[in-house]
Amino acid sequence: MKIETITYKRIKNLGNFQSETMEVTAVLDQYDEPDEVSEQLRSLVKNQLFPQEAITTPATTDEDKTAGAENNPF
């Protein structure tokens, strides 16, 4: 099967019966990997609809998980 286009659509609930919709479509060439393009489209839409989450969500490292563990009584 040859995939020629990929479309990703997401709807954000704004509350009060309102929503915002964003849809993006990519036309693939022979060298594109469909899985990679799909992830790029998802990321693009998420960053547009939820910009604060993309900026303020800190990356969790193994060091973050163990920090303070020696003081944890549980």
Per-residue pLDDT tens over the stretch 35-73: 999 999 999 999 999 998 656 555 555 555 555 555 555
| Residue 5 CA: distances (Å) to CA of 1, 20, 29, 54 | 12, 23, 9, 26
Other C-beta atoms lying within 10 Å of the C-beta of residue 67: 10
pTM equals 0.66
**Enclosing H/E stretch for 24:** strand 18-27
Q: What's the token pair of residue 3? A: 């995939």
Q: Computed over its alpha carbons, how large is the radius of gyration of the chain?
A: 19
- Residue 11: pLDDT band (50, 70, 90) is very high
For residues 61 and 5, the model is more confident at: 5
Q: What residue segments make up the domains of the chain, in order of their start?
A: 5-57
Give the pLDDT band (50/70/90) at residue 1.
confident
Give the confidence band of 74 by pLDDT, cuts at 50, 70, 90. very low
